[in-house]
Amino acid sequence: MTEPCDCFTTAAAQVPRSTVNRPGLSALSHRIGTYPTFVEAMKAKLSHFDLSGLKTREPGDPAIALLDAWAMVADVLTFYQERIANEGFLRTAVERRSVLELATLVGTALRPGVSASVSVAYTLDQNSAATIPVGSRVQSLPVQDQLPQMFEVSDNLAARAAWNNLAPRLTRPQILDAKGPTIYAAGLSTNLKSNDPLLVIASDPVVRTIAAVEPEPPQARTKITLFGSDPPQQLNASNVEVPASRITNFVALLQPLAKLPAASPADPLEIARRLPLAFAPDSGTVPLMVRLLKPEARTQFFDAVRHATVAPPPGGAVHAFRVKAAPFGHNAPLKPVTDEDGIAIGTEEWPLSHAVSISVVISRKTRRARDLGAVVDMETLFSDARKSVLVQIARGSEKASQSFDLPNDTSSFRVGRWGVVATFENRTFTLKFDDFAWSCEIGLAEEATVLTVNTNGRTFEMPIGHAAENAAGGERLRVSTMHGLAIDRVAPLAPEPPNVIDLDAAYDQIAPESWVVIDFAGTRPAVIAQVEEVHKVSVARYGITGRVTRLRLTKPWLGPTDLMLSAVRPVSVLAQSEQLELAETPIEEKIFGDTVELADFYGDLPVGRRLIVEGERTDIEATSGIKGAELVTVAGVDVLPPDGDPASYPGERVHSRLKFATPLGYAYKRDTVVIHGNVASVTHGETKREVLGSGDASRATQRFTLKQGPVTHLAASTPSGTKSTLEVQVNGVPWTQVDSFTDAGPSDRCYVTQTDEADKTTIIFGDGVNGMRLPTGQENVTASYRIGLGSEGNVSTGAISQLATRPFGVKAVVSPLATSGGVDRDVIDQGKANIPRASVAMDRLVSVEDYAGFASLFGGVGKVAAIAVPGRRPLVYLTVAGPTWQENKRVTQYDNLRQALALAGDPNIFFRIDTCELMLLIVAARVTMRSDCVWANVEPNIRAALIDRFGYEWRQLGQSIALSEVAAAIQGVPGVAAVNVVTFDSVSASDVDLDSSLRRKLASLGVGPPPSSIEVRPVRIDPVTLKPLPAQLAFLSAELSVTLMLSEVAP
């Protein structure tokens, strides 16, 4: 029985396979077969007539084993042949070496990357001056998982210690306002507290009360807040209405944070200057010119100007009081009152000073009061019979008495040195004591039984034979008709002199010419006076004794009505005044615009110098503490106040005012601002110098490979956007790097470079026909270059803080700005996309495509789209994206790109560069896993596949995204059985321009079924405004994981 033969199989028909490939494939199929097909094809050939005797197909047979071995050889050969074929085409090449060689074939190269750059600020030792040379190195302080990065100074910098911080003017001379709310005192130990009094002398002295005392240590001053006419009421937190904060409106924060400062001119020649302004009286040119024309005064001229006072110091003073006293006797007990027998019957107030005692006794014959007998008939006293009066007056230790006959009309008498006027009319006696402002009227009623006595408005009516007593206002009056008529009056006198005050104790520190405030506890205005004399005296008065300080003041402190001790018991005395040293008052205005008034005079600060302004921003509402910094260029230095103009403030000194070439982009809190004056531009990379070898004139195209790499390329306005730092010298003579030897002659000292896949740079010299050969010499070929470039140089603000080289006098370095512009070398996909573009523009710009191609090859630029904008004048509008989304708005190469486009393009064609509008993709998908796979293992692969497909680096401007693309990317991950994309949306930069639009957009996310695609708009012209609009770029963010939400769904 014959069994079927399996010699003829389909494998024989598969070898050789077709190597024809359709266009546009990402990989070529170039293998004519693989190991299985080769084995089966050779086995099929065994059915040939000449081999009919070989019927076994067992793998262990030697013949079959030989076929198996050759099949293996063929498999290996075809595998590498296919790889070689793929590496020979730009689209299918996957090796960097292949892409580099293909680029060399068309006279171009992959972009090498760009070095990061930033401006740093040096700090010098006090009174030092130094020149920081080119190549001075500074180093960043690394964070975790990073290495320190080296930076070098690009240009020589003349630095001075005085320019470490061009401090803005924070204060101005304080002008006292007696009604002002605040006073600033120098120092921190004022020994003042709330409710302490202050004497403010602006014009007339005024006593103010302290509401709060706030030491300000950074400024070495104390802020004293004063109460107004009424102390402020305490606020209760429960009844204070707090407005709603705007902090929840993130858009309000976003807009100022996204604002970029205007670029300052990089070259002083770009600063527009006008002759009248340059030589204005207040310009900084004038002192420089005067200093130049008078060299004999050159050394000290600026110091003299700096310390010159252009206005007299401000008047006025503020005094604090270190002693709070009271008048002597303020706490004395009341004076006891006794009867005729000396028995205490009550108390009364003490007279403030001396008292005057007046006794009047009237009788018919008797001259002295003690001679009065029994009760006499009052009627006879008012008859025409002869009447006599005895008057006794005692004032302190001075006493006098006099008896005289009362007249029938009016007569004047003397009692000692005091005068008395007596009048008798209509049964009424009147005695007037003008020296004591007292009069006494004595009248008898018709019935002669009641006597009326009226003294200064106080009236007594009493029957004859009685006595009465009354005390009021410190005056005590007693009238008696027991033995004739007797009137006794004791009244206090005003103190003499009224400008002398005795304090309640001895105070040794009170000095003449100091100030005293006598406070009457609100019952009358306080008395403010200066001390003329100070004495220590012992006083016995008001029933107490003590040794006290007696002050003689420049004005009376008591009035004519202050007679009793009660008038001064509530009085407090503020004494021992101490004049406070006043500090200058702070300037509260924020710093913004194109001018800044400085605290000092900087006459030799040159125009065109670069400065860094750093401080806390005030242009962001509802938040604080946001630091900002920006680079500015000095456009002028003015002198304030202008020569010949009246000073605005007493005590004003000469200082400078900076004018910037462009206004500040931000507004700053004044007392946080630091203006760095010793600013140098640094670029990433460290200089290396090495001897390459020896030249040999007998050898053509000598080659030398640098020991280190990659070579640093700096940003420049060249067609490539970069400039190599490599410098080669032969026998000490510099040679020039060229792109190729095509245009080089036999005497041209030039060389070309090649960079391999490991970033090793090889220098190639000419062959004597195209480019000069190297002259023979011993180690006469040297090279200087820098290593280090790319994104690793983009360090954060303040990271550069280490001095790798320390010029004499240099103390420290800091980077107030974050470094930027560092771009990594082209990856393979970027190189494959850019190589064809190199042959489009050929460094000449004619069409729109030329502009786009030129810009896309420019170092530091990631993606470009361009259109022509119709109008009266041709305009090419370019939308540019940075190499990473972080650098989209901060690509420092944009200025260089503008210059390069202007040099290579048609001067009659205008162009404009704008950055793209970013769009953030929002994706949520539910994934069903295969039964043999674990979600925890597959989920990272899905996320990586989506980021790889839709990440920023892989998307193009105006490239829309279909839902099917997302689903296919997820479905293509091994282990995924099914996928359902439930959310497919985006949020664009324009959506966050307004809070309302952002809220609407966020509310719409995930609502309804996902769209079939997301439209990403290309660069276009607005049909309404006819203005060009930037292209959009949509991408999926790896930094914000919530934008890609993946969840597992059970099958």
Quick: pLDDT tens for 69-112: 999 999 999 999 999 999 999 999 999 999 999 998 888 888 89
pLDDT at 740 over 70: yes
Determine the pLDDT at residue 377. Answer: 46
pLDDT at 987 over 70: yes
488 and 505 in a single domain? The answer is no
Mean per-residue pLDDT for 579-585? 91
Choice among 106-110, 603-607, 866-870 with the minimum mean pLDDT: 603-607
What are the tens digits of pLDDT across the range 517-563?
999 988 889 999 999 999 999 999 888 999 999 999 999 998 877 87
Q: Which domain holds residue 981?
A: 917-1048
Determine the pLDDT at residue 278. Answer: 52
What are the tens digits of pLDDT across the range 14-23?
668 888 898 8
String of DSSP letters for 155-211? S-EEEEGGGS--PBP-EEPPPP-TT-SEEEEESS-----TT-EEEEESSSEEEEEEE
435 and 397 in a single domain? The answer is yes
Determine the pLDDT at residue 244. Answer: 40
String of DSSP letters for 200-269? EESSSEEEEEEEEEEEEGGGTEEEEEE--SSPPPPPPGGGPPPPPPGGG-HHHHHHHHH--PPPPPSSGG
pTM of the complete model beyond 0.95: no
Q: CATH number for the domain including 888?
A: 3.30.300
pLDDT at 653 over 90: no
324 Cβ neighbours under 8 A, 6+ residues apart: 572, 573, 574, 575
Confidence of residue 254 (pLDDT cuts 50, 70, 90): low
User: From CA 152, how far away is CA 681, in angstroms rounded?
Assistant: 8
Mean per-residue pLDDT for 232-247? 41
pLDDT at 293 over 70: no
Confidence of residue 182 (pLDDT cuts 50, 70, 90): very high
Residue 445 lies in a domain: yes
User: From CA 1048, how far away is CA 771, in angstroms rounded?
Assistant: 66
Q: Cβ distance 911 to 851 under 8 Å?
A: yes
In single-letter form, the type of residue at position 557 comes to W
Q: Cβ distance 994 to 1000 under 8 Å?
A: no
1004 and 892 in a single domain? The answer is no
Higher pLDDT, 125 or 278: 125
Choice among 235-249, 799-813, 946-960 with the minimum mean pLDDT: 235-249
Determine the pLDDT at residue 468. Answer: 76
Residue 234 lies in a domain: no
Residue where a domain stops, chosen among 899, 915, 931: 915
507 and 464 in a single domain? The answer is no
pLDDT at 279 over 70: no
User: Of 529, 439, 526, whose CA–CA distance to 491 is shortest?
Assistant: 439
Q: Cβ distance 37 to 11 under 8 Å?
A: yes
882 and 943 in a single domain? The answer is no
Residue where a domain stops, chosen among 753, 770, 787: 787
3-state secondary structure of 387: coil
pLDDT at 666 over 80: yes
Tokens of 477: 């009056």
Mean per-residue pLDDT for 770-775? 95
Q: How far is CA 412 from the centre of its chain?
A: 87
473 and 373 in a single domain? The answer is yes
885 and 866 in a single domain? The answer is yes
Residue 1001 lies in a domain: yes
- Scan for tokens 């200025």, then name that residue: 895
- Scan for tokens 């014009």, then name that residue: 203
- Scan for tokens 């990473």, then name that residue: 884
913 Cβ neighbours under 8 A, 6+ residues apart: 855, 878, 880, 894, 897, 898, 901
pLDDT at 755 over 50: yes
pLDDT at 383 over 80: no
Determine the pLDDT at residue 152. Answer: 96
Tokens of 869: 């904008």
Mean per-residue pLDDT for 768-790? 94
Residue 454 lies in a domain: yes
What mean pLDDT, rounded, does the chain reach?
A: 83
Confidence of residue 947 (pLDDT cuts 50, 70, 90): very high
User: Of 349, 317, 284, 82, whose CA–CA distance to 205 is shortest?
Assistant: 317
In single-letter form, the type of residue at position 445 comes to A
What are the tens digits of pLDDT across the range 620-642?
877 788 899 999 998 888 877 65
Determine the pLDDT at residue 462. Answer: 72
Choice among 9-13, 608-612, 787-791 with the minimum mean pLDDT: 9-13
Question: How does strand 627-640 pair with strand 610-616?
Answer: antiparallel
Residue 25 lies in a domain: no
1029 and 902 in a single domain? The answer is no
What are the tens digits of pLDDT across the range 336-377?
877 767 787 788 788 877 777 777 777 654 333 333 333 344
pLDDT at 858 over 70: yes
Residue where a domain stops, chosen among 787, 821, 851: 787
Q: Cβ distance 760 to 709 under 8 Å?
A: yes
Q: Cβ distance 697 to 773 under 8 Å?
A: yes
Confidence of residue 926 (pLDDT cuts 50, 70, 90): very high
Determine the pLDDT at residue 69. Answer: 94
Determine the pLDDT at residue 573. Answer: 95
pLDDT at 802 over 90: yes
518 and 455 in a single domain? The answer is no
Residue 209 lies in a domain: no
Mean per-residue pLDDT for 128-134? 93
User: From CA 673, how far away is CA 679, in angstroms rounded?
Assistant: 16
Mean per-residue pLDDT for 859-884? 88
DSSP state of 843: T
Residue 537 lies in a domain: yes
Q: CATH number for the domain including 517?
A: 2.40.30
Determine the pLDDT at residue 273. Answer: 57
Choice among 146-150, 310-314, 788-792 with the minimum mean pLDDT: 310-314
Residue 668 lies in a domain: no
User: Of 152, 155, 151, 150, whose CA–CA distance to 135 is shortest?
Assistant: 152
User: From CA 108, how far away is CA 91, in angstroms rounded?
Assistant: 16
Helix (H) or strand (E) holding 877: strand 875-881
3-state secondary structure of 683: strand
Beta bridge mates, 931: none
Tally the domains of the chain: 6
User: From CA 394, how far away is CA 270, in angstroms rounded?
Assistant: 98
922 and 1038 in a single domain? The answer is yes
User: From CA 353, how far away is CA 489, in angstroms rounded?
Assistant: 16
- Scan for tokens 């601002």, then name that residue: 673
Mean per-residue pLDDT for 970-990? 92
Question: How does strand 485-492 pair with strand 1013-1014?
Answer: unpaired
938 and 1043 in a single domain? The answer is yes
Give the CB-side neighbour count of residue 1043, counting CA atoms within 13 A: 18
Confidence of residue 255 (pLDDT cuts 50, 70, 90): low
Q: Cβ distance 724 to 81 under 8 Å?
A: no
Confidence of residue 310 (pLDDT cuts 50, 70, 90): low
In single-letter form, the type of residue at position 128 comes to S
441 Cβ neighbours under 8 A, 6+ residues apart: 428, 429, 430, 452, 453, 454, 455
Question: Residues 53, 58, 64, 67: is their CA dihedral positive or negative?
Answer: positive
Determine the pLDDT at residue 283. Answer: 53
520 and 410 in a single domain? The answer is no
Mean per-residue pLDDT for 305-322? 76
Determine the pLDDT at residue 290. Answer: 58
User: Of 386, 422, 382, 383, whose CA–CA distance to 402 is shortest?
Assistant: 422
Confidence of residue 312 (pLDDT cuts 50, 70, 90): low
User: Of 356, 355, 352, 395, whose CA–CA distance to 502 is shortest?
Assistant: 352
Choice among 102-106, 441-445, 727-731 with the minimum mean pLDDT: 441-445
Cis bond before residue 218 (omega within 30° of 0): no
User: Of 815, 824, 761, 816, whose CA–CA distance to 792 is shortest?
Assistant: 824
